[in-house]
Amino acid sequence: MIYLDNNATTKPFPEVVETMTRFMTSRFWNASSAYGQVDGLEGTVESAKAAIRKLSGVGSEDEVIFTSGATESNVWAVTEGARKAAGGGWVLSSQIEHPSVRETLEHFREQGLCVRWASVTREGALDLDELKGLVDPDLRFVSLMLAHNETGIIQPVSEATALIRERSPECLIHTDATQVLGKMPISFSDDLDEVDLISLSGHKFHGPKGIGGLIVRNGVLIEPLIRGGGQQNDLRSGTMNTPAIAGIGAAANKCWELLRERQPEAVRAVRDHFEERISSVFPGALILGRLAPRLPNTSFFGIPGTDADDLVLALAAKGIAVSKGSACSAQSIEPSRTAAQMGYSYEEASSLIRFSASCETTFEEVNLLADELQGLCRHAGIAKRSE
Ligand code: PMP
């Protein structure tokens, strides 16, 4: 299988698998036990937190709480936001958030919470002008993703938080950074310092599935998500998943090294090469957010007159894995919601395919994808019309 769907999930690095195997065999202890402590398991947990802090550029005082993944982290953040907004406040999010944010907010809205949804521009970025008109002192919670999982478009979260802090200084600010960590250098200590809560997920950066985190910035107080034995500072009880924690730590360390070796530039070159080929073979091809700041690995493109469902299936039959968009909505027959929010028609949105590279993706692989697409479309009589 030529795997080109790395925004859905990534292959764990070999060092992640080795590390996890060790913590599932010779060091399977409960991290809270006396012998686990003697064996240094607390140190393993702390090292994994340090690796995540380094990868996200937060400070050593900022707390990393391990969760089962970004869905759980997002639900936790939004639940806290709904609590803060109870009794006269309101919350703000965008039209393009991940379903774990959108559906949770929708659930609270049905129970009476006031939620407003900011729209995005044709370029797929949060509409800051609209946001300016919306924010007022009663705004208590904001959830805005940092980069979009389908388009890869980087959202102006820093500009948004500056605006929000000015008008509502006490507002709790959350960002879903799931698609950013490991793909490009980032520092929450610089212009994203006003963000209070950050969601992340291990399997998006070559770590294991079922482990993620919520970074709670220094001084930010939130209610526990799971009460029980008091693990993780009483905030999220339950025996710590040490194999996965050690695994996510190993992945974060490896990603940090790759980022320092300028791996994003190499990935960007492969992605840009693919887009050049697609637009030369199909001059009418859509490439969403091509000129916008984007994740270096992502291309959300469409060949007019085609149906993404058919092409994605035909490519899978040829051993190439790409997707129609978000894996979370791959079962849905509706085309990308985000493309619709950006103003694309139903037909245009129905043609969109997401290609997402990793540090292992080669020029040969993307050439093969472009060749296969050309072949499939020629077969269907589409390339002839575009050529
Ligand atoms: N947020 C974004 C932006 C994502 O892309 C995903 C994964 N599709 C999630 C949250 C959910 O992550 P997880 O699979 O770790 O629950």
Q: What is the DSSP string of 90-145?
A: EEEEETT--HHHHHHHHHHHHTT--EEEE-B-TTSSB-HHHHHHH--TTEEEEEEE
One domain, residues 154 and 269: no
Rounded CA separation 120/127 (Å):
5
One domain, residues 246 and 334: no
Q: Which residue has the tokens 């894995």?
A: 321
Instruction: Please answer whether residues 362 and 270 qualify as being in contact, where contact means their C-beta atoms are separated by less than 8 angstroms.
Output: yes
| 347 CA → ligand 1 middle, Å | 26
Q: Give the pLDDT of residue 262.
A: 86
| 72 CA → ligand 1 middle, Å | 9
One domain, residues 190 and 337: no
| Residue 88 belongs to domain spanning | 14-258
**R_g (Cα) of the chain, nearest Å:** 21
Domain CATH for 223: 3.40.640.10
Rounded CA separation 259/222 (Å):
32
One domain, residues 188 and 275: no
Kindly state if the Cβ of 19 falls inside 6 Å of ligand 1.
Answer: no
5 falls within a domain? no
Of 228, 258, 288, which marks where a domain is finished?
258
Segment holding 153, helix H or strand E? none
| 368 CA → ligand 1 middle, Å | 28
One domain, residues 270 and 250: no
Q: What is the pLDDT along the chain (387 residues), one digit of tens a residue?
A: 999 999 999 999 999 999 999 999 999 999 999 999 899 999 999 999 999 999 999 999 999 999 999 999 999 999 999 999 999 999 999 999 999 999 999 999 999 999 999 999 999 999 999 999 999 999 999 999 999 999 999 999 999 999 999 999 999 999 999 999 999 999 999 989 999 999 999 999 999 999 999 999 999 999 999 999 999 999 999 999 999 999 999 999 999 999 999 889 999 999 999 999 999 999 999 999 999 999 999 999 999 999 999 999 999 999 999 999 766 555 556 889 999 999 999 999 999 999 999 999 999 999 999 999 999 998 877 654 444
One domain, residues 184 and 285: no
325 falls within a domain? yes
Instruction: Please answer whether residues 243 and 23 qualify as being in contact, where contact means their C-beta atoms are separated by less than 8 angstroms.
Output: yes
Instruction: Please answer whether residues 38 and 178 qualify as being in contact, where contact means their C-beta atoms are separated by less than 8 angstroms.
Output: no
Q: Give the pLDDT of residue 331.
A: 59
Q: Give the pLDDT of residue 378.
A: 87
- Into how many domains does the chain fold? 2
One domain, residues 245 and 287: no
Residue nearest to atom 7 of ligand 1 (CA): 8
Domain CATH for 307: 3.90.1150.10
Helix (H, G, I), strand (E, B), or coil: what is residue 188?
A: coil
Q: Give the pLDDT of residue 329.
A: 55
93 falls within a domain? yes
One domain, residues 254 and 324: no
Q: Give the pLDDT of residue 328.
A: 58
Q: Give the pLDDT of residue 333.
A: 65
Kindly state if the Cβ of 71 falls inside 6 Å of ligand 1.
Answer: yes
Of 258, 287, 321, which marks where a domain is finished?
258
Q: Give the pLDDT of residue 384.
A: 44
179 falls within a domain? yes
Of 235, 258, 281, which marks where a domain is finished?
258
3 falls within a domain? no
Kindly state if the Cβ of 294 falls inside 6 Å of ligand 1.
Answer: no
387 falls within a domain? no
One domain, residues 345 and 366: yes
386 falls within a domain? no
DSSP per-residue letters across 310-340:
HHHHHHHHTTEE-BSS-GGGTT-SSPPHHHH
C-alpha to C-alpha distances, 63 to 82, 171, 245, nearest whole angstrom: 21, 19, 15
Beta bridge partners of 216: 63, 197
Hey, what long-range contacts does 349-352 have (CB within 8 A, 24 or more apart)?
349/302, 350/307, 350/308, 350/309, 351/286, 351/302, 351/303, 351/304, 351/305, 351/306, 351/307, 351/308, 352/150, 352/286, 352/288, 352/300, 352/301, 352/302, 352/308, 352/324, 352/325
One domain, residues 222 and 305: no
- For the chain, report the end-to-end CA distance as a whole number of angstroms: 29
One domain, residues 338 and 315: yes
Segment holding 264, helix H or strand E? helix 263-281
283 falls within a domain? yes
Q: Residue 155: CB partners within 8 Å, gap ≥ 6?
A: 94, 125, 126, 144, 145, 146, 147, 148
One domain, residues 73 and 110: yes
**Whether residue 328 lies in the annotated active site:** yes
Say which amino acid occupies 145.
Answer: M
Structure tokens at 303: 């060949």
Kindly state if the Cβ of 338 falls inside 6 Å of ligand 1.
Answer: no
Rounded CA separation 6/206 (Å):
9
| 204 CA → ligand 1 middle, Å | 8
